[in-house]
Every structure is written in structure tokens, then in C-alpha cells.
Amino acid sequence: GLPISAQQDSLDISIVHLALTNPLADETTYQITVTQVKDFAGNQGNNLYESFIYYLPKFNDIVINEIMADPSPSVGLPENEYVELYNNAVYDIDITDWQISIGTRHYNFPELTVIPANSFLIITSDDGLTSLESYGYAIALTGNSDLTNSGQVITLRNTAGQIISSVTYNDSWYNNSYKADGGWSLERIDPENACEGIANWTASNANQGGTPGQVNSVFASNADVTEPRVLRATVLADDTIAVYFTESMDSVDLSDLQIYSVDHGVGAPSYVRPVEPDYKQVILGFAQNFSPVTIYTLTVDNTISDCAGNNLGNNNTCRFAIPSLASAEDIVINELLYNPSDDGVDFVELYNNSTRTIDLQTLRLANRDETDTSDVKNVCEIAPDGYLLFPESFVLLSTDGNKVLEQYFSPTPDVFLDMDDFPSLPNDNGNVLLMDQWMNTIDYFEYDDNMQFPLLNITDGVSLERINYTCVTNNADNWHSAAASVGYGTPGYKNSQYMEEQGTTDEFTLSSTILSPDNDGYQDFLQINYNLPEPNYTANIFIYDAKGRKIRRLLQNELLGTNGYFIWDGLNEANERIRPGVYIIFVEYFDLNGNVKHEKKNVIVAYKY
């Protein structure tokens, strides 16, 4: 119908602003007709008409489609950073005055910035415009070095401040260590897939290193059909928690107070705040404080969905508790990979050996100086945003958990925690220190490659596993190579070589009557335990075969404590494999008064063939 009013523009008299009686309907084609109008020369126009489509851009209509964060050294493209946008819609979209944010820097698009349907826009700096506009529609908008090589958050918002597209990339998204060193862009695989991060991005396959203004070289159908999960929660205050999801969630769903419930009578939160820009996190505040002695369970309605429409499903709960500060040996270093296979990463596994929940936000990984152990270096925060480690639970620390999963099986990948930085772990020997933020030692381990099983041909990719949580960390007998049967590592779950302490009143006992020293995870070593009535005993331990021939001197004039253990790896004095059969463990121990005791224990050495 007719407009309510018509107002000529004060700056451009060829423009008229119309106020309409009724609002326009989204995704509708209209025709405007102008009758009996004259220009300033007196020329008259009658029944002039023009068709137009009214369309409100929606989430993912314009997508961040390609990122050149590290253009040097060039493999073909200009050495200039750029971000490419792609219009996913079937309509041309005017993004005038929309805002793109790169980290903490914000840029508004100039007037008449229109991206045609199914077309691209290259965003670069003043320096990059001349060289990049030959590849397609390009504008100069950003700075020369906004895109950090290691990672950044890029967010596109419309004039109402609504998020249309957001990407939080890092250098692991290249999935190729060579291309991550520079000259290659990151490309989105499927522009219709808005939710997934690393699973929908990879390094360009184009010979020139990228595809600005063109269909991406890695373009393919890659629909998000993965069910999201509640990952974990951290405690921000006595009445407030942060909840983390594995994928970007529907922000409208997250805003509903009634989808959350906490047990022990707490119930639903009193307020909720979804966290932009990726909506993988939500802050929940409650009307009452949490008890410091209770472990709570949060349940989220499993009908809510991620931004691709996949329902949350049954992985909809997580625990949380008011955390305690860690004391020495509350958390122990439980597994260490210091010499990873090609394209692998170092990792450190921790185990909570206490009865309390501890927030890793207060802890650090570091190294002690080789010459001055009081000097701490390479201090790295473990979890700046918080991470609750519950009693009898594991956490796997590395700089890239996805690379760990590529090389090792783990039934619990949700306990993998990526750190921005990592202490130095040399391949031959070194140390790792777990300390709190006040530099109090929680645990400390000095490792050496000689601690590995001697019959291994190579130790690349073989982790060292702790045998028992409560035994001394810096005792070489408390560590052993991970078994071959588990792929030489058990990241995030119980060690293949774990052994419980033997509860007995005998003075000397064996962990087993069978020894199978082939590093397959079954009886790979023999633990000789002792439990003496008083200190100051000195011991000798010898291994004999069935014919009485001595094959190994395990201990000579060793001063014992009141309890402890020694390990026999099943090898002879020359570190050679012995024949299967019956062997005798002969123990001689004596006190300061000259009282001598002897014990003999039999063990069967057997192998799998």
C-alpha cells in the first residue's frame, strides 16, 4: 500500500526515505511503483517500478570461510594476511556497518559493501589490497598483523550486534605441521557446517597456498552429525559455576533457566548467561551457596541442541564441587611421554590421589634447573579458566590432545586438557615439576631414558608409567615402560603396569609367582616387597636358576627402611632375556647386632609365543 510518509534525503536528493504502514515480511519479493514524478529539469516519469527482496540475514548466512594468518614464506600468494567471507545465502546481502572483530580489534564495513549470493569478499589491509584484489572482490579494512599465527578469535556481527559467524582457530587446525609454518591458508571444508571447529577446517590444498575469492580447495560435504556433550564445570564462586560443552550450542536453548538442575536440593539456577561468541560455555548462578563437603551433579535437559540441531542426548551431566588447595602428593605425576613419535607431542598425566576435589587453576607445570634444583624455569599455567580434578581421577596434559589421540587409544578423551605452553622434556633425561602458584612442590619426577624396559629396540613414543600411586615418585623402581599391548601408552586412564600394594605381615613377599618379562602388560616385572619390624637392616638379593647358578645380583649391602620394594625386570646381569623356567629369589638380611636371616621365594618365568 501507500507509505505513511516520504522524506527526501538531506545529503543526496536522489534518495527518498519511505515510512511504511506495515512491516515488510522476511524473504518476500516486493515491487515499488512511482507515478507522476519529475526531475529538476522537468522531465516527468510515470508508472516507474522496481522489484526488490526483503531478507533478514541469519546465523551462518555469511561465513568466515578462509583465513591466511601466516602468509610468509609465500608458496604462491602475496605475503599479506586476509580473511575471506562467503555468502551462503541465495540473496545478495548488504553488510554496510556490520562489524568484524579480530581478537580485541573491531572494524566496521563501509557503505555499499554488498556480497552477492554465493560469492566471496576478501578482507585485507591497505598494504594487501592491491595484490589481493586481482583474486576477487576485496576491501582494505584490517591491520597488517591482526591474525596471530598461533590462533585468534574472529567474529562477524550484524548492525544489531547479533553474531552471524564466529571462528576460534589455532595452529593445530592445519592438521599439517609443515603448512602450519607459513604460506598456507586455513580453509573451511563445508560452509553449511557452522558449529564444528577443527573438524571442519584444514590447511589449503591449493598449489599457491590458498584460494582467496574462489571455492576452497578442500570444499566437500561435511555435515555436523556429532552429538554434543556436557564436558565439565568449574566453580567461579560459592554460588556460581561455568559449564562447558564440546560444541557450540543454540544460544536460545542455553538461556532457558529450566533446562538446568543440580542435585542435593539445589535445583534450577536463578540466572543464566551464555558466553559469546561460540556459546560453548554458560555461566549459572544459584540462590544458595554450595556446601564445601559435597560433590554435586548438574543435569542439563537432553533435548537442547547444538547450533546444527543435534540434540544433547545422554551425555548431559557433569560433577562439580567447591575445590580444595593441593598439598604435597595430593596429585601425583602418573605417566610421562618425553620422546614422542614423529608429529607427536609430549604429555604428562596427573592422578588425584587425595580424597578432595582440586582446581588445577592453582597449579603449574615447570622444570627445575639441572645444576640448581632450587631454580624453577619454564613455568606453565595448567588451566587458567579452571579445571576440577576429582578424587581418583586422571587428567592428560599436552599442547594438542588431538595429536595424542591420533597415536594412542583412550576411552576417556574428555579428560584431555590442552595447555598453551608446556615445560621442556628432553628425549634423554630431564624433570617435570608440579607446583602450586605459591611455588610449593606438589610432586616432582626426574626421568631418564635408561628407565625404559632394556629390551626395547627404540623408546620413541613409549611412555613411562607409574606402577603405584602411593610409592615414592623419584624411585626408578616405581616406573616402567607402558605395555606393547596398549600401544605403549595409556593417556587418561589406568596404567598398563599399575600394581596395588601387597597387604601382608610377611617380611619379604613377591607380587606374583609368575614373571613374563616381554612388556605385553601382563606380569612384566616382579615386585619384591619387604615389611620389617624395625629399621637398620641391610640386605643382599640374588637370583638363581633351578640348577643353582647365579644369574643376577639384584641388591648388595643395601640399607633398608622398615618397608618398601625392589623390582626385578626378568633380565640377567648382562640385561639379556633369560630362559623360561623356575627361578629362586634368595634374600639375605641382617641387623646391626649381626643377626642374619634368609628367605627363598620361587618364581616361574614364562613367555607368550
For residue 363, the Cα-to-chain-centroid distance in whole angstroms is 17
What is the pLDDT, as a whole number, of residue 412?
Answer: 94
Residue 415: helix, strand or coil by DSSP? helix
User: Do 271 and 244 fall within a single domain?
Assistant: yes
Q: What is the DSSP string of 266-285?
A: TBS-SEEEEETTT--EEEEE
Residues belonging to the chain: 609
List the beta bridge partners of residue 86.
63, 120
Cβ pair 465, 495 in contact under 8 A? yes
Those residues of the chain that have pLDDT short of 50 are none
- What cell numbers appear for 584 in the block? 629362586
Last residue of a domain, one of 302, 321, 340: 321
Residue 160 lies in a domain: yes
User: Do 30 and 116 fall within a single domain?
Assistant: no
Which CATH number goes with the domain that contains 349? Answer: 2.60.40.1260
User: Do 273 and 350 fall within a single domain?
Assistant: no
Instruction: Residue 349: name the closest of 337, 361, 363 by CA.
Output: 337
What is the pLDDT, as a whole number, of residue 558?
Answer: 86
- What cell numbers appear for 554 in the block? 639384584
User: Do 344 and 386 fall within a single domain?
Assistant: yes
**How far apart, in whole angstroms, are the C-alpha atoms of residue 515 and residue 570?**
7
Question: Which residues have C-beta within 8 Å of that of residue 309, sequence separation ≥ 6?
Answer: none
User: Do 316 and 338 fall within a single domain?
Assistant: no
**How far apart, in whole angstroms, are the C-alpha atoms of residue 70 and residue 28?**
42
Indicate the residue type of 284: L
Residue 225 lies in a domain: no
Residue 433 lies in a domain: yes
Last residue of a domain, one of 268, 298, 321: 321
What is the pLDDT, as a whole number, of residue 586?
Answer: 95
Q: Annotate 256-293 with b (16+ C-beta within 10 A) or e (fewer).
A: eeebbebeeebeebeebebeebbbbbbbbebeeebeee
Residue 429 lies in a domain: yes
Residue 116 lies in a domain: yes
What is the pLDDT, as a whole number, of residue 4?
Answer: 92
User: Do 28 and 93 fall within a single domain?
Assistant: no
What is the pLDDT, as a whole number, of residue 522?
Answer: 86
Q: Is 192 left (phi over 0), alpha (psi -120 to 50) or beta?
A: alpha
For residue 185, the Cα-to-chain-centroid distance in whole angstroms is 22
Provide the 10 A C-beta neighbour count for residue 309.
Answer: 10
- What cell numbers appear for 372 in the block? 640448581
User: What is the residue whose three cell numbers read 599455567?
Assistant: 381
Instruction: Residue 195: name the closest of 308, 313, 59 by CA.
Output: 308
The angle at the Cα of 352, spanning 346 to 358, to the nearest 5 degrees, equals 105
Cβ pair 106, 123 in contact under 8 A? no
What is the pLDDT, as a whole number, of residue 605?
Answer: 92
User: Do 478 and 593 fall within a single domain?
Assistant: no
User: What is the residue whose three cell numbers read 534518495?
Assistant: 15
What is the pLDDT, as a whole number, of residue 98?
Answer: 97
Percent of the chain at pLDDT above 90? Answer: 77
Last residue of a domain, one of 456, 486, 516: 486
Provide the 10 A C-beta neighbour count for residue 521.
Answer: 17
Residue 317 lies in a domain: yes
Taking the C-alpha atoms of 174, 176, 179 and 185 in order, what is their torsion angle to the nearest 10 degrees?
-20
**How far apart, in whole angstroms, are the C-alpha atoms of residue 373 and residue 159?**
57
One-letter-per-residue 3-state SS of 501-554: CCCCCCCEEECCCEECCCCCCCCCCEEEEEECCCCCCEEEEEEEECCCCEEEEE
User: Do 99 and 145 fall within a single domain?
Assistant: yes
Q: How far is CA 437 from CA 237, 284, 362, 363, 388, in A?
A: 19, 27, 6, 6, 16
User: Do 481 and 340 fall within a single domain?
Assistant: yes
Provide the 10 A C-beta neighbour count for residue 96.
Answer: 12
What is the pLDDT, as a whole number, of residue 449?
Answer: 96
Residue 224 lies in a domain: no
What is the pLDDT, as a whole number, of residue 397?
Answer: 98
Cβ pair 271, 258 in contact under 8 A? no
Residue 394: helix, strand or coil by DSSP? strand
Question: Which residues have C-beta within 8 Å of that of residue 546, sequence separation ≥ 6?
Answer: 581, 582, 583, 584
What is the pLDDT, as a whole number, of residue 504?
Answer: 59
What is the pLDDT, as a whole number, of residue 505?
Answer: 65
Residue 218 lies in a domain: no
List the beta bridge partners of residue 33.
49
What pLDDT digit, counting tens, does each position of 81-112 carry? 999 999 999 999 999 999 999 999 999 999 99
User: Do 173 and 235 fall within a single domain?
Assistant: no
Provide the 10 A C-beta neighbour count for residue 235.
Answer: 20
pTM: 0.76
In what order do the strands lie in the sheet containing 163-170?
A: 105-108, 99-102, 151-157, 163-170
User: Do 160 and 271 fall within a single domain?
Assistant: no
Cβ pair 398, 347 in contact under 8 A? yes
Which CATH number goes with the domain that contains 267? Answer: 2.60.40.1220
On the CB side of 126, CA atoms within 13 Å amount to 0
Q: Annotate 347-378 with b (16+ C-beta within 10 A) or e (fewer).
A: bbbbbbebebbbbbbbbbbbbbeeeeeeebeb
- What distance, in Å, lies between the first and last C-alpha atoms of the chain? 90
Number of folded domains that form the chain: 5
What is the pLDDT, as a whole number, of residue 503?
Answer: 58
Residue 452 main-chain phi, psi, to 5 deg: -70, 160
- What cell numbers appear for 507 in the block? 617380611
What is the pLDDT, as a whole number, of residue 160?
Answer: 93
CA pseudo-torsion sign 73, 77, 82, 88 = negative
User: Do 314 and 439 fall within a single domain?
Assistant: no
Instruction: Residue 31: name the closest of 54, 3, 50, 55 by CA.
Output: 50
**How far apart, in whole angstroms, are the C-alpha atoms of residue 188 and residue 198?**
9
Q: Please provide the average confidence, as pLDDT, over all residues in the chain.
A: 93
Residue 471: domain span: 331-486
What pLDDT digit, counting tens, does each position of 171-218 carry? 889 999 899 999 999 999 999 998 888 899 999 999 999 999 999 999
